[in-house]
Structure 1
Amino acid sequence: MGGGEMAVRQRLDAALAAHAWVCEHLLDVQQLVTDAFRQPGGPAAAPAQEARGLLHRLGCLSLALDRLVDDLDGVEEPTGAGAQALARLLADPCQVRFTAATGEPVTVEAMSVQEILAAAREHVARIRRIVDAYGRDRLTVRAQRLRSSVERLRRLAAEAADEGLGDGTDPVAALAVDALLDRLGAAEAAGRGQWWRGDVQPERDDGSLGAAVDRAVERTDTARRRLRRGCHAELAGRLEAYRQKAADEGRAEHPQVERAYREALAALRPDAFALTDASRAVRAYQRAVNGGTR
């Protein structure tokens, strides 16, 4: 591989990694904002509006990368003319369309992949700061975040187990959050989101409990992202293994096999990845390879 091809490959990998990061964190902060601002009136109105505005802009950044990946996927061969097309796509800035639900005109900004990624990181960080500031000293908000994070992890783990993915262990058990959830239940039962325990002052322990909840949310979300990435990698590995088998047996270009491969590849895209759907698409490709005709 020449220096030019190596540079194109590096830029392609960077673009795909940026796309995956933005898609993953967009889902995270969407859930974060939903959990924090379930009742957006009163004191929540201003932070909810600001957080949702940033979330909307983050979605616009994500869509720009979606379009770029669509264009990259449309390049049939990464050699010769295909390599030149890839190089042009990766060199040209993305046209990011920032829309608004308030009737304001659409604005379009030309941004490189790295500029999009930097802006996305900033938006994610700002959304988290807004939610944290609103949720500070509001234990019920933080409790909802933890319960939501645990439930999302449990659902993903159940899907992985159903599809035979992962190592079969319970990721929630490893986090040891049950005792913390019990403490939260006791705090809420006290009536004001404070946890009373003997000689411990409520406001002091409320701060300690809130910090423990924040740490647990971060650990839970990290575990879910790790499980999701692991399942994605496992499915991608299976797909490529069967792709190689199809090539070895001379069936890779059979229309039915090729169609099933494209469908599985699309299901594994970060912006479209749903574990069960992707697993079924990979299995469909496996069946096409095993049952295909020469």
Structure 2
Amino acid sequence: MNVSRWPMSRTEADRLIGDLGVAYDRISAAMYALDSHPHLAVLRAPELSGVTARVAAGLLARVDVLWSQFTAFSDLLHRAREVRSRRSRPGDTELRELAGLLRAPVVRLGPDGMVLDDASADPPAHSSGLVDLARRIETEATGLAGALSEVVAARTRLVEGFGQLTATVARLRADVEGLGEDSAVAGDLDRLGRQIDEAYGNALGDPLGATRDGPSGSGVRDRLRELTVEVTGVAERIADLIELRDGYPGRVARLAAELDDLVAATTETDRIYAVAEAKIANPGLPDLPAANPALRTQLHLLDQLHRERRWQRLGAELDVVERAVVTARRRSAELYEAADGLLRRRVELRGRLDAYRAKAGRLGLIEHVELSARYRLARDLLYTSPCDLGAATRAVVAYQRQLNDLAERPTPGAKGAVP
């Protein structure tokens, strides 16, 4: 049925024109928002690639279709308003013309939705009236806005991921400038800054592919993780340098005190060595290490590096000196213990011999000839300098064994012996 031959009432015409006018205002706002959307310009960039390039081509084609439909809708609504404005009370001619504009499927659409202007062209895939066209345009504008929002979200995720790294590198550059450190750290930051910019630029060429599952997205995420690990490593190095700078006065003061302690410990070790070598025959002690005045000299080098703000070299040298002091202190303690152990062993043997002598007295064996001879031998060895500690040990053990043997089998005439 040809609806254009059936005139519509003035009330219906006014209602439809009013409703379409309201729809036109909504659509105009949606089209303006779509046309001014910053990411629409991004989708037109020639450097797009991958998923985003394919999506962009489809979206831009849909935008073109939408504009052709909006233009047709705007023109037809304008013509309907002109017809309605001819007379305050339109006649059948105007109402029949309005019916043709407002009711009839007068907009010819191709298979892709593009408006067909040439009436002589191939039959359209679809013909639409103004009301149906308005719904189409609003629905499609909403869909395009959602599709653009997906691109916006993808770019936002990239900005957040790479932007955080960029901000961290900028902060670290400021820290390095505060350190006055002109070194490999600054070079590493420059290199990382360039790599982050390069990776970010590559990802922005295909933001949808870079943030979705798939080889492209996995590659971008892997690269982002690699850069994050590198930036974190440099940040830790810089934090160590800052800690070194701020903690150097206390650290070098402790080191100086430890050097003083080392000197005192070395002096005491020398003393106990001299005593042991004088009182113990063939002590078998390792040689004492030569004095190391370089450790004290290195303190002045450390101060110079600190004044020159050469933090990395300072940290390395400070670690070397601290380890050297700890090693020297431990070695000095070991040597002291070795020498003092010999002297303590002699004291211990003297004490054991006295205890065994007292036991012999309680058993009435003080005058036992052979036992007394063993006692004198052990005592002479222990109280002669230098003391042959090995021989003295064997003599004390021999005295102990004979005493124990005699205590178990008392000799005739000895106290406790059976008549």
Which category describes the TM-score, using the shorter chain as reference length?
A: 0.3 to 0.5
Instruction: Return the structure number with greater relative CO, CA threshold 8 A, min gap 6.
Output: 1
> Which structure's CA Rg is the greater one?
2
